[in-house]
Amino acid sequence: MSLKTRDDLTQLRLKCRDVVKAGGKRILVCAGSSCMSCGAEDVFDAFTKALGEKGVACSLEFELEGDRRAVGVRKSGCLGLCELGVLVRVDPVGYLYTCVKPEDCAEIVEKTIVGGEFIDRLAYSKGGLLCRCQDEIPFYSRQTHLTLKNCGHIDPASILEFISVGGYSSLEKALFEMAPDDIVQDISRSILRGRGGGGFPTGKKWEQVRRQKAEKKYIVCNGDEGDPGAFMDCSLMVGDPHLMLEGMIIAGRACGSDEGYIYVRAEYPLAVTRLRRAVEQAEELGILGKNILGSGFNFRININRGAGAFVCGEGSALTASIEGKRGMPRVKPPRTVEHGLFNMPTVLNNVETFATVPIIIGDGVDAFLKHGTAKSPGTKNFSLTGNIENTGLIEVPMGTTLRQIVYDIGGGMRGGATFKAVQIGGPSGACLTEEHLDLPLDFDSLTRIGAMIGSGGMVVTDDNACMVELARFFMNFTQNESCGKCIPCREGTRRMLEILERVVAGEGREGDVELLLELADTVTHTSLCGLGKSAANPVVSTIRSFRSEYDAHIRDKRCPAGACQKLKRYSIDPVACKGCSKCSRVCPVGAISGKIKLPFAIDGTKCVKCGACVAACPFKAVLAA
Amino acid sequence: METSIDLKVMDGIIDRYETKSSAVIAILQAIQEKWRYIPREAFPKLASRLGLSEAQIYSVATFYDNFSLEPKGKYVIKICDGTACHVRKSIPILERLRGELGLSRIKVTTDDLLFTVETVSCLGACGLAPVLTVNEKAHPAMTPDKASILLAKLREEEHNVA
């Protein structure tokens, strides 16, 4: 099937909607990365088997023709509440079942699909609150889903389902009702800022590329989401790939480009599969390719896989990598908008930015401006992880406070632990503490306090986390990923890492903190690209907020959080010890001695703090302080 | 795993791509998928097919983390050490696996070419941290003990096959 005109697409959409309307119940099994690793595939198979055994007709993909009463079973995009995977949504009622195992599927089919009953046992239930439908769960009811609106509600492998919920209607509008200048103007007026971290106005970028006269221009999508602890873009690419394709095609139309590239991180094989499939489907329907829907506009999209280099998330490194070179950044200017991919003017935006474009064009600028703050309108996706009750993928209006995210949506600290900090923006980001809980999160407010939204990874830590160790962790990451082209980043991060390693090992020296700050200043101001410029952020922010922890490590050789292995002091509780000798047998350095059936003791001068005794003791008598 | 490198097979892989220099990363990825590492023979072959020098190809192959110039084990175990996994204690899992297999940060593959243990910065399954993957299959909410059990299971499978 190939759509030749706009009318063909409209007709197809009406047909798809009819199918949805007439269709029966649907079972959506979350196939986000977390649920997949919990066995979503097995749950999916168990459903089809259970339906078969009950003699209920089922369909595994969207079909225009076919048995309309068949129960649809689909793998959906990420439903967001990753902590409670495997998640299963039953439509049209909107029930959400959590922690579903293959053995639960027969019961769901029998009671819910056939009988229409809800199964309380599988419901979301916390603090006496039992929620049947997804919308009732506080985790969802406090979010605003724009880019995630389809995620978890449609089958991302089917372009027809995307079209049935209004997909590619913004593209229609952009092709047939708007001149390229109108599109750029709308994006400018929406104040859409780059969601990859920098927050550069997207409209400005598009305008700069649009007005250049070049024989070739490129639209590049940065799907190299490298920040550890961030998986928002992955969820979008896997859960609703057509939405970002639509955004890219609109960008091509607006800027006068006929070719796009998507650069996807190597660690996301499922995203690559889904995107390839989505591109194929769009080509088959004539939504990508030559003379799209008879508009005379041509656009094609290539997909490139990364090969494991964090620095390729930087614009000029990314384009170098697409060109088949070492992914190293170059000196700017000239900027990517002038000399980008293959030295041609290039629009480079990230996944979430492109996914927001169809929403602005479709709903109109004014509707978009109603979300978020005046200078940062719209929503932002965050991946909420760490020691928090509800880990997962969330989308909230810009300007939402940290307290709302951690406590209202995130459900507070795991196991009632004490909140300590939120690390936001990954290795380029900073730590937000108690005092920042009521800060409205947007680009400017975070920049003011020396942090950045980054790509949107949020790791919540409780008081068991050592901030010096966290700073060392990020510095180790950045140092590993430094491409080595410029000296401040290559050498500066290495020296900073050495100091941090020394401090967490209890060998810190007086003056180390000052030295770290001095190095941080140099690295920040003299590095070539964003990776180096922001590499010191985690160190500087933890020093600012948790100076006393650094001092405790350096002066008292003590880790206040009790997390640094080398600073632990092990002792044996003489009351709990039964004298079984297990600890002394596993001790690699013979530091534990004693008589059988009498309390043993650890010689602190010999102990290498490996912790083997703690693991070996059946009576929990070895104490670490 | 195929131990000898059939250059005809390599040519077949290269044929699937446009022979232009920008395809080098995609071709190296395809070669690595076939042999689980980039064999030495790939460099002169690619150089002549793509019109690049061997040094240029070597520079690309050594820049990116994913490319290995050493043969990898049949089971590649990747322990995620992204932030979320790290704060939920992924390192003890890594240490347990390295300990049981006699591996280290430098020596990542066992001599019998069965197991490779490495870390990865983030697998994007942070909701169920800590996570590890065995040849791309993810195992969520790991602990050192669960990792030991998994390793024993893999060994048993291997034993049954042999």
- Hey, is the C-beta of A308 within 8 angstroms of any chain B C-beta? yes
- Hey, is the C-beta of B82 within 8 angstroms of any chain A C-beta? yes
Q: In this structure, what are the phi and psi dihedrals at residue A321, rounded to the nearest 5 degrees?
A: -70, -40
Distance CA A185, CA A181 (A): 6
Element housing A551 (H / E):
helix A537-555
CA atoms within 13 A on the CB side of A490: 7
In this prediction, residue B4 has a pLDDT band, given cuts at 50, 70 and 90, of: confident
Look at residues A93, A84, A86, A106 and name the one whose alpha carbon lies nearest to residue A132: A93
* A392–B136 CB contact, under 8 Å: no
A138 CB contacts (<8 Å, ≥6 apart)? A129, A408, A409, A411
Query: Would you say A504 and A553 are in contact if contact means Cβ atoms under 8 Å apart?
Result: yes
Distance CA B124, CA A37 (A): 11
Distance CA A611, CA B91 (A): 13
**Mean pLDDT for chain B overall:** 91
Residue A142 CB burial class (10 angstroms; 0-12, 13-18, ≥19): middle
Q: Report the pLDDT value the prediction gives residue B1, as an integer from 0 to 100.
A: 46
Would you tell me which residues 26-45 of chain B have a C-beta closer than 8 angstroms to some C-beta of chain A? 26, 28-29
In this prediction, residue B3 has a pLDDT band, given cuts at 50, 70 and 90, of: low
Query: Would you say A168 and A246 are in contact if contact means Cβ atoms under 8 Å apart?
Result: yes
CATH number of A568-624: 3.30.70.20
The tokens for A500 are: 């941090």
Q: Report the pLDDT value the prediction gives residue A289, as an integer from 0 to 100.
A: 97
Cα radius of gyration rounded to whole Å, chain A = 27
Q: Kindly tell me the number of DSSP H helices and DSSP E strands found in chain A.
A: 24, 20
Distance CA A190, CA A375 (A): 10
Contacting residues of B for A306, CB less than 8 Å apart:
64
The residue to which tokens 């791309």 are assigned: B136
CATH number of A379-462: 3.10.20.600
In this prediction, residue B129 has a pLDDT band, given cuts at 50, 70 and 90, of: confident
Q: What are residue A27's DSSP bridge partners?
A: A73, A90
Which letter does DSSP use for residue A580 in this model? -
* B122–A230 CB contact, under 8 Å: yes
* B124–A305 CB contact, under 8 Å: no
Look at residues A596, A561, A546, A570 and name the one whose alpha carbon lies nearest to residue A464: A561
Q: Where are the beta strands (DSSP E) in B2-140?
A: 75-80, 115-120, 132-134, 137-139
CATH number of A20-136: 3.40.30.10
Query: pTM of the entire structure?
Result: 0.92
A4 CB contacts (<8 Å, ≥6 apart)? A286, A293, A294
Where on the phi/psi map is residue A7: left (φ > 0), alpha (ψ -120 to 50), or beta? alpha
Distance CA B122, CA B80 (A): 6
| pLDDT cut 70: percent of chain B above it | 98
The tokens for A117 are: 């009953």
Burial A452-482 (b: 16+ CB within 10 A, else e): bbbbbbbbbbbbebbbbbbbbbbbbbbbebb
Q: Where are the beta strands (DSSP E) in A351-405?
A: 379-386, 392-397
> Nearest CA to CA, how far is A69 from chain B (Å)?
35
Best to test chain A binding among B21, B128, B135, B150 (most A CBs inside 10 Å):
B128
Distance CA A200, CA B90 (A): 35
- Hey, is the C-beta of B87 within 8 angstroms of any chain A C-beta? yes
Which letter does DSSP use for residue A87 in this model? P
Query: Would you say A193 and A376 are in contact if contact means Cβ atoms under 8 Å apart?
Result: yes
Mean pLDDT in order along chain A per 10 residues (625 residues): 94 93 89 87 95 91 85 92 90 94 96 94 90 93 96 95 96 97 98 91 97 96 89 93 98 98 92 96 97 97 94 94 96 93 97 98 97 95 90 93 94 92 90 93 89 85 92 94 95 97 95 98 96 94 96 95 88 93 89 93 87 86 87
Residue type, A91: D
* A231–B125 CB contact, under 8 Å: yes
CATH number of A159-369: 3.40.50.11540
Distance CA B15, CA A597 (A): 72
Q: Report the pLDDT value the prediction gives residue A587, as an integer from 0 to 100.
A: 87
* Mean pLDDT for the stretch of residues B30-58: 95
Residue A615 CB burial class (10 angstroms; 0-12, 13-18, ≥19): middle
> Nearest CA to CA, how far is A67 from chain B (Å)?
35
> Nearest CA to CA, how far is B4 from chain A (Å)?
25
User: Domain A467-555, CATH 3.40.50.1000 — does that match?
Assistant: no
pLDDT at residue B94 greater than cutoff 50:
yes
> Nearest CA to CA, how far is A246 from chain B (Å)?
24
Distance CA A150, CA A244 (A): 12
Domain-by-domain residue ranges, chain A? Answer: 20-136, 159-369, 379-462, 467-555, 568-624
Burial A284-294 (b: 16+ CB within 10 A, else e): ebbbbbeebbb
| A618: preceding bond cis by omega (within 30 degrees) | no
Q: How far is CA A512 from CA A35, A509, B28, in A?
A: 44, 6, 43
* Mean pLDDT for the stretch of residues B12-33: 94
Please give the residue of chain A at the shortest CA–CA distance from B81: A228
Using CB atoms, which residue from B59, B87, B139 is nearest to A37? B139
Query: Would you say A301 and A218 are in contact if contact means Cβ atoms under 8 Å apart?
Result: no
* B83–A457 CB contact, under 8 Å: yes
Per-residue pLDDT of A562-613, as tens digits, reads: 888 889 889 999 999 999 999 999 888 899 999 999 999 999 888 888 778 8
* Mean pLDDT for the stretch of residues B17-21: 91
Distance CA A73, CA A26 (A): 6
Give me the domains of chain B, ranges plus CATH numbers.
7-63 (no CATH), 75-161 (3.40.30.10)
Tell me the H-state helices in A38-154.
40-54, 105-107, 138-141
